[in-house]
Chains A and B, each alone.
Chain A
Amino acid sequence: MSLVQLEQLSIEFPIMHAGHRSFKKTVLARATGGKILTGARAAPVVRALSDITVDMAAGDRVALIGPNGAGKTTLLRAIAEIYEPTRGSVYTEGRVMALLDLSLGMNHDISGRENIRLRGRYLGMTAQEIDALAPEIAEFTELGDYLDMPTRTYSSGMLLRLAFAIATAIEPDILLLDEWMMAGDATFVTKARNRMERFVERSKILVLASHSEEIIRQWCNKAMFMKGGELIGYGDVGEMCALYRQEVDRPDAIAI
């Protein structure tokens, strides 16, 4: 059973600058009622998501669309419970995996093989799962003897191959992706593309933040249109893309 339930989900966070981060200034400001130091007044709070209520079930492949700053990445983080709700609730059933940054948990002083273990653990795999998957990951990377050398000696292409192979090795029920993972045919050779497609297809629920209508239409059957942290609409991909185009009032605005 896989599902995602967001109910009146709101996320707020403080935007802090140097003054707010100083203990001395904060104490002094409190003690003097803010008369001496104004730099440490309460940090402004940003409402990154407000009152989002959405249900997703197995088979839903949801695109997150909206202008920059709409809260797309924040919503991915909220579903992954990296950010916890300020109000409302998030409930997920199934194994959740968020792929926001490929280089997560990489340590460049240790070997590729050791990095497979380390990064796998960060992604929530157990030691046994990694043991089982490591040969397949190693094979996919085609790194051969390089796997026993520190990853700092790798070229960026090799690093990407390694990171990508690890990230796509397990099968999450709920997959949360940022657009760049799917974008750019140039980045991924055919082999990687096939692996990515298999990986995405096997997930039961996909949430994909994207600006590209082409990618959205290829992968998604639903879309959430967001703006300024609010959910404007949730429904069929075509409808939402049309709504978005209307909203931004430019027929080609959705493509980057």
Chain B
Amino acid sequence: MERRSYPTLNALALADLAASLRSTSFWMTLAWSDILQRYRGSLIGPFWLTISSGVFIFGLGPLYASLFNLEIKKYLPFMAVGLLIWGFLTGVINESCRAMLDNASVMKQVKLPRTLFIFQIVARNFIIFLHTLPVYIIVFWYCDLHLSANMLLVFPGAILLLLNMFWIALFLSIVCARFRDVTQIVGSIIQLSFFVTPIIWNPATQHAPSWVVDLNPFYALIQLLRAPLLSELISWKVAAMALLCLVVGGAATTWLFVRARKQIVYWI
């Protein structure tokens, strides 16, 4: 009988990704049913998120504007949009730390691509993020922002952001499956980053060492969406930083995924 050689690690990793892309409708279904389930029984469903982020933003916005001595209509849009995007970033990062562990039993019963769970997490959090957009619309209207062609940059910005979130989530899901204490380390980093990253403070109106802003990948990732949503251009510094993250992070993750993919099921 004809013998076939077993695929190489590279081929297996690529096949994993291809299998996930083929089952797009499956992980979209999973992401949706996660959301439906979370808000089952509540009348307004996922729009609870809209309300809770709205309360946070309209509650803290005026306070911080007066603390920082800034005009509310100047301060609020930057802070509000930044917070909504930050919610998406941290949602993906925190959940990806548990991606493999939460799916351990499924992974040991059927053959499923590992990247499927990553697509599920990114999709779920992006859908949740879209549910908070009414807050943005209220801010847009209240603060007299204007529509402009710059806003079209939201599409390339979103693509670049999602690609970056994908590698970050895949990388963390693997490392956290192997080393359980990394989840806590990631949590601490996220907490610190919230204050270091221009979200509730604005480098355009407040003084900060420029390297704190320019070298902060979280700032670049947030700006990819925030700038166009505020009718601003995405600066070349931000675009370059986001691309650099994608290339370096993507390469590191590919290396890790190819080598570790087979082992993941034994770690969980």
Contact = CB atoms under 8 A, between A and B. Distances in A.
A13 B111 contact: no
B85 to A, nearest CB: 28
A21 B180 contact: yes
Interface in B163-209: 175, 178-182, 185
Given A88-B6, A101-B105, 5 more contacts: A80-B111, A82-B109, A101-B109, A104-B110, A109-B37
Those 7 A-B pairs whose CB atoms lie nearest each other, nearest first: A89-B6, A23-B179, A13-B266, A21-B180, A104-B109, A84-B262, A81-B111
A80 B110 contact: yes
A127 B25 contact: yes
Interface in A210-233: none
A118 B110 contact: no
Nearest to B180: A21
B217 to A, nearest CB: 21
A131 to B, nearest CB: 13
Contacts of A21: 178-181
B111 A90 contact: no
B29 interface: yes
B73 to A, nearest CB: 43
Contacts, number: 83
B252 interface: no
A180 interface: no
A33 interface: no
A5 interface: yes
Interface in A106-123: 107, 109-110, 114, 117-118, 121-123
B108 A23 contact: no
A77 interface: yes
B60 interface: no
Given A16-B267, A24-B181, A91-B4, A110 B37 contact: yes
Contacts of A38: none
A23 B182 contact: yes
Contact of B4 (A16, A89, A98): A89
B261 to A, nearest CB: 8
B108 A7 contact: no
Given A23-B185, A127-B25, A90 B6 contact: yes
Contacts of A123: 110
Contacts of B5: 89
B108 A82 contact: yes
Contacts of B111: 80-82, 96
Q: Is the interface of A mostly helix, strand, loop or mixed?
A: mixed
Interface string A63-90: 0000000000000010011111100111
Given A82-B265, A89-B5, A122 B181 contact: no
B146 interface: no
Contacts of B4: 5, 89, 91
Contacts of B263: 13-14
Interface of B: 1, 3-6, 12, 25-26, 29-30, 33, 36-37, 40, 105-112, 175, 178-182, 185, 262-263, 265-267
A203 interface: no
Nearest to B29: A121
Interface of A: 5, 7, 13-14, 16, 21-24, 26, 55, 77, 80-85, 88-91, 96, 98, 100-101, 104-105, 107, 109-110, 114, 117-118, 121-124, 127
Contact of B110 (A16, A23, A82, A109): A82
A26 B26 contact: no
B33 A118 contact: yes
A80 B25 CA distance: 23
A107, A117, A121, most chain B CB atoms within 10 A: A121
A250 to B, nearest CB: 32
A26 B178 CA distance: 11
A19 to B, nearest CB: 11
B29 to A, nearest CB: 7
Contacts of A98: 109-110
13 contacts: A5-B4, A23-B175, A23-B179, A23-B181, A23-B182, A82-B265, A84-B12, A90-B6, A91-B6, A96-B111, A105-B106, A118-B30, A127-B29
A26 B179 contact: yes
A73 B182 CA distance: 31
Contacts of A13: 263, 266
B174 to A, nearest CB: 12
A96 to B, nearest CB: 8
